[in-house]
Amino acid sequence: MRFALRRNNSTKRLSRAAGAVAALTVGASLLAAPTASAADTPSTRQLLDACGWADLCDFHPQSYWTYTGPRHQVGSTAYNCGTQTNQHRIDWSDTTGATNSVGVSISASAKFWGVYEASVEASYSHSWEASHTDTESNTVNIPAGHVGWMERGTAKQQATGWYEIHFSEPYYGHYVWYVQNYQSSGFNSDRPDLGYVNFKDRAMTSGERGAHC
């Protein structure tokens, strides 16, 4: 499945100027990206930014999987300095942003992310978000002399593939460039069962008792 950001004049100009390069990309396998190189090469960030104005920006997905993200605390820590179990309300908000393997920041307005999102969604039938925020309020029972907190493992998804980017004029010496081994992960709204929010508690240390009680 391919999703492309395409400008109308790309086919004519590529066939005239790129020659064998255009023929190579048309028949390229989705299992492995061809290579292109030049003495001076653009950075990965430059190529992904170029998705917004290049004649063609296409993402070829190769694999997809779901998983539970690493556990982490959400909200504040509550301390029960009393002599009996007490109820405490813990309010929390947790934002899960989309990340990638090339170190380029992702925003909903980025053209390369829109291409990725649409292509992966069409291929694997899962929706994607550049950023997702969950907000909850939990009432918990904390034993006397204990400290309590909320621990979360976020439902996440990840997909890999490669970008194919065409230019009407040579860009760093080439009409076609590739960003290979691209991998992004983000919140999985289609499989909330993969995530969890648990209450945790333990006895306070003497230092915590002195600081909070």
**DSSP secondary structure code for residue 114 in this structure:** H
Residue type, 200: K
| Domain boundaries, given as residue ranges, for the chain | 3-212
pTM of the complete model: 0.77
Task: Tokens 């004649």: give the residue.
Answer: 55
DSSP states along 134-180: EEEEEEEEE-TTEEEEEEEE-EEEEEEEEEEEEEEEEETTEEEEEEE
pLDDT 10s digit of each residue in the chain, 213 long? 444 444 434 333 332 222 223 323 332 333 455 555 445 789 999 999 999 999 999 999 999 999 999 999 999 999 999 999 999 999 999 999 999 999 999 999 999 999 999 999 999 999 999 999 999 999 999 999 999 999 999 999 999 999 999 999 999 999 999 999 999 999 999 999 999 999 999 999 999 999 999
